[in-house]
Chain A
Amino acid sequence: MQDIVLLTLGIILLIIGIALYLAKKRGGLVLLALGVLWLFAMLIYYVYSTMGFYAAAGLNQSSMGPAVTTTLGFIILIVGIALAVYVARRGGKK
């Protein structure tokens, strides 16, 4: 039930973001990004649930969950650092 509420929130954020972005309104792009990243988290949630990586709370220590999480964490971290390098090279001033 809780996942349905979170999923619905993510979809609402995404739809509002798309609408504002298409209407060229301020804040549309960030809401769109927020919606996409929120739904990315929900996708992880459903994949982990299906694979049996979750325990009642936290990760199931006897599953592949902890190893997959550590690996995915490092991959996401590297993507973030690559984005930081890209933005730093581009510079922030207009």
Chain B
Amino acid sequence: MSGKGAGLWTLSIVIGLLFAAFFIYVAYDIVSKGLSNWQQWIISRPFIALGRDFWFVVAGILWVIGTIIFFMEVSGDTIDRSFRIVKNNVKWDAVDVTVTALSAAIYGGSLAATGGIPIIPGFTWLRPGNALAPLFGMLFGVPGALGTAIGNFIADALTGYLSIGSIGGFIGNFMIAYLPYKFMKDHSFRSPRSIIEYYIWGAVIGSIYVALYISWWLDALEPVIGLPRPLIWGWFAPWVIFNDAIVTSTITPILGYLLYPPIKMRGLYWKDRVGLP
């Protein structure tokens, strides 16, 4: 390994460890301050400081973009790097549909398996299964991302959170899988670039995006769903970021490193399925 190569590896590992350490610190901060003192959590501060109106506008823009992307991708179109609308080449044949179903079953099942262990009864539960969402997008592409969306919907039914809000969760979870699929160039977890790209798109941006996407939907439908707006932005949004990022920054890279070779070898990696190099 050249000196430059070793330097890049060190940099990527340091970046990964810093992200993981930050979210472990957030976990410590939440536990030490107490689950009910969410106004004091370090991760809640940006939401409380900037206020509901700011986040409603920012999340609204992300909501519109995410919703357009979801419908485009599912109907067979995508936006390329030159911002042109082109076909995404997903065939939706028997293999793609089976991949969607298995992603839904594994994601929904893994979320529900821990659904009986609430952190705050009536509000949220342990979600280690979140670690799988970015992987399904990175490995299986749009079929995997759609499976993630369906899996979350099934988990909502199994854990008592199914409501109109689940439509936001449906597309929001699609985006957790979609962002690393779309914006990472190397999904192998075997290069410094792959690791750095993953932490940016999969662990950080994906977690923030899903939190803002669902929060905007809950806020917009507050008269129907009934979750108070201060709780949506002060507690729910930061909690979703934390609950997602703590597992996607620690468990997902290990799973991805282990699963990439067998998926690729069996011809199930999405780039091989759509004929990309």
Contact = CB atoms under 8 A, between A and B. Distances in A.
A55 B121 contact: yes
A70 interface: yes
Interface string A57-76: 11111000111011011111
A11 interface: no
Contacts of A12: none
Given A41-B154, A70-B113, A83-B102, A53 B97 contact: no
A41 B156 CA distance: 8
Contact of A65 (B103, B116, B146, B161): B116
Nearest to B140: A92
Chain B at the A interface: mostly helix, strand, loop or mixed? helix
Scoring A34, A73, A74 by chain B CB atoms within 10 A of each residue's CB, the highest score goes to A73
B109 A92 contact: no
A85 to B, nearest CB: 9
A29 interface: yes
Interface string A76-92: 11111101101110111
Contacts of B11: none
Contacts, number: 171
A58 B160 contact: yes
Contacts of B122: 55-58
A73 B114 contact: yes
Interface in B189-229: 224-225
B57 to A, nearest CB: 26
Contacts of A76: 105, 108-109, 112, 154
A58 B112 CA distance: 12
B118 A59 contact: yes
B272 A93 contact: yes
A41 to B, nearest CB: 4
B150 A70 contact: no
Q: What size tier do the contact residues of chain A reach?
A: 35 or more
Scoring B96, B113, B156, B161 by chain A CB atoms within 10 A of each residue's CB, the highest score goes to B113
A79 to B, nearest CB: 5
Interface in B88-120: 91-118
B146 A30 contact: yes
Given A77-B110, A92-B266, 19 more contacts: A27-B92, A30-B92, A34-B150, A37-B154, A44-B158, A48-B158, A58-B122, A61-B121, A69-B112, A69-B159, A70-B113, A72-B112, A73-B158, A74-B113, A87-B95, A87-B102, A88-B266, A88-B268, A93-B272
Interface of A: 2-3, 5-6, 9, 26-27, 29-30, 33-34, 37-38, 40-42, 44-45, 48, 53-61, 65-67, 69-70, 72-81, 83-84, 86-88, 90-93
